[in-house]
Structure 1
Amino acid sequence: MSLDRWIALVLLSICLLYGYTAWFTMDANLAPFMQRKPVWPSSFPKILSVLAIILCLVILLGLEKGEQTVGEIDYRRLTDYRLGQAILMLALMVAYALCLRPMGFLGSTTAFLVLGSFILGERKWHVMLPVSLLTAGIVWYLVQEILGIFLRPLPFFLGN
């Protein structure tokens, strides 16, 4: 079995567990007034689990493959791929999660976007910095002001 099918099998097991949680355990503790609403807090996880299970099954059954076999990953030759970039991006994601509270959303998100684009090969700093700052600011505004979810924009020592 190829690497993509093994990954799909692992994802399928995770999606089945997620779907079981969404369908059977999330709604058990709902307040009575919430049970009469058409959309429950578990509605999106239910939809997401069903779609993910369908996509995993498509990969497992090989329905996505046509005549093209050029793009398959050969797990015996992993050193031929850009593993350095992938590992650096994973490390950057972990660092972003750890720096989110101390640095604030705007600083950590801007740094993540700039460093991530640098790792992936972008070298135009005059483009990376404004785009990263603008993106972080827009996302913060949408989450904080539109959705009403508090995100600390600045480092903890600069504000409440």
Structure 2
Amino acid sequence: MALDRWIALILVGICLAYGYAAWFTMDGALAPFMKRNPIWPSTFPKVLSVIGLLTSLVILLGLEKAEPKEADIDYRRLGQYKLDQAVMLLVLMVAYALCLRPLGFIFSTGAFLILGSFILGERKWVVMAPVSLIATFVVWYLVQQVLGIYLRPLPGFLGG
């Protein structure tokens, strides 16, 4: 079985467990007045589990395959792909998650976007830094001011 089908099989298991939690365990603790609402807190997880399960089954059964292409991933040649970039991005994501609270949203997200684009090969600092910082401030403004969800913008020692 090909690598994409093994991954799809793992995702089927994850979607089944997630769907079980969404369909059977999340709604038991709802308050009585919420049970009359048309949308419950478990509505999005239910939809997500069904879509994930259907998509994984399409891949597992091979319904999306037309004819083999040269661009398919060959798991026997994984060393020829850019795994170092993928691993560095995963490490950067973990570092971002760990630095988000102590260093604040603006610094952590800006640094994540700048370093992530550097890892992926962007070398124009004049473009990379302003775009990353503008995107960081726009997201912070939308979440903080428009949605009303508090994000600590600055590190704690700077009064954030």
Matches within 5 A, 1:52-131: 52-131=52-131
CA distance in 2, matches of 1:11, 1:146: 35
Per the TM alignment, residue 27 of structure 1 is displaced from its structure 2 partner at its CA by 0.7
Paired position in structure 2 for 1:36? 36
Per the TM alignment, residue 39 of structure 1 is displaced from its structure 2 partner at its CA by 0.8
CA distance in 2, matches of 1:10, 1:19: 14
Q: How many residues align?
A: 160
Percentage identity across paired residues of the two chains:
69
Structure 2 unaligned runs (5+)?
A: none
Per the TM alignment, residue 91 of structure 1 is displaced from its structure 2 partner at its CA by 0.5
136-145 or 20-29: which moved more?
136-145
TM-score (norm 2): 0.96
Q: Does 1:140 align with 2:140?
A: yes
Q: CA RMSD in A?
A: 1.0
What amino acid is aligned across from residue 80 of structure 1 in structure 2? Q
CA distance in 2, matches of 1:145, 1:18: 32
Per the TM alignment, residue 75 of structure 1 is displaced from its structure 2 partner at its CA by 1.1
What amino acid is aligned across from residue 93 of structure 2 in structure 1? M
Cα distance per residue 1:24-62 (max 9 Å; x no partner): 111111111111111111111111110000000010011
CA distance in 2, matches of 1:66, 1:6: 19
Structure 1 ranges of 4+ moved more than 3 A: none
